[in-house]
Amino acid sequence: MRKAAFLLAFATAGCASSPWQSIESVPGGKLYVPKLYAPLLPGSIYPDRKAPVPAKGRPALVVVCPEKGSCPKDAILDQAAQRGFVALVTSVAEAAIAPRTEVDLARTGTVIVTPTSLKVEVHPPPEAGASPSSPSKKALLAALLESAPRVAPDGVVLKLYSPNSKGLLPAEAFRDAVEWLAGVLAPP
């Protein structure tokens, strides 16, 4: 009896719902469409998990991973799903999301990942005054302390991070990048 209870508990421990409504192979990569829910109460930020709504007019995120080597796409996709981004994961820097009802192409960002840096760009670049936290910034560059340029070019937010135990960017860099992008791409 104890064995059966243990096996049941072990088998159900990993049963978590995916944050994605759909995952499709599209030309250039994989497209992830998030699950969205109605607010718990009108005006609430808390979702009513019993009332799903279709993804429509969502901001888009193109994640460009290197062809060889590791890419922390799961960390980026987790943050993107929490913020309701439609995401395209690709290895081609010129890849773009085709027009779809789920996507607002006017609110698109690109995350270019390398082992020691991360570059986030907004397409088209934001207008001055578009975001209170970085009103005229058009890109975010996250890099390791020892490999970072000392001065950021005009219009670029530079964030420096200490390497993790493997000598790579820590998970906080990816969270910060998606948070920054969500702030810049927020509807007016």
Could you please report the per-residue DSSP string of 79-133?
HHHHTT-EEEEES-TT--PPP-TTEEEEEEEEEEE-SSEEEEEEESPPPTTS-SS
**Within a domain: residue 172?**
yes
Give the list of residues 6+ apart from residue 182 with CB closer than 8 angstroms, or none. Answer: 59, 83, 85
In whole angstroms, give the CA distance from residue 21 to residue 169.
29
Name residue, tokens 């072990």: 10
| Lowest-pLDDT choice from 24-38, 80-94, 141-155, 161-175 | 141-155
**Within a domain: residue 164?**
yes
What pLDDT is attached to residue 188? 67
Q: Is the pLDDT of residue 77 over 90?
A: yes
Q: Taking residues 34-57, report their average pLDDT.
A: 89
pLDDT digits (tens, 9 = 90+) for 112-134: 988 778 888 887 665 555 444 54
In whole angstroms, give the CA distance from residue 122 to residue 76.
16
Q: Closest Cα partner for 77 from 13, 33, 141?
A: 33
**Within a domain: residue 1?**
no
Q: Taking residues 146-159, report their average pLDDT.
A: 68
Residue 104 CB coordination number (10 Å): 16
In which domain, by residue range, is 103 found? 17-185
**Within a domain: residue 8?**
no
What pLDDT is attached to residue 134? 46
Half-sphere exposure in the Cβ direction for 144 (13 Å, CA): 15
**Within a domain: residue 132?**
yes
Q: Which residue has the higher pLDDT, 150 or 133?
A: 150
C-beta of residue 60 within 8 angstroms of C-beta of residue 108: yes
Amino acid at 53: V
What pLDDT is attached to residue 127? 59
> Would you place residue 135 in the very low, low, confident or very high pLDDT band (cuts 50, 70, 90)?
very low
Q: Which residue has the higher pLDDT, 170 or 134?
A: 170
**Within a domain: residue 5?**
no
Q: Is the pLDDT of residue 137 over 50?
A: yes
**Within a domain: residue 6?**
no
Number of structural domains (the chain) is 1
Q: How does the average pLDDT of the chain come out, rounded?
A: 81
**Within a domain: residue 12?**
no
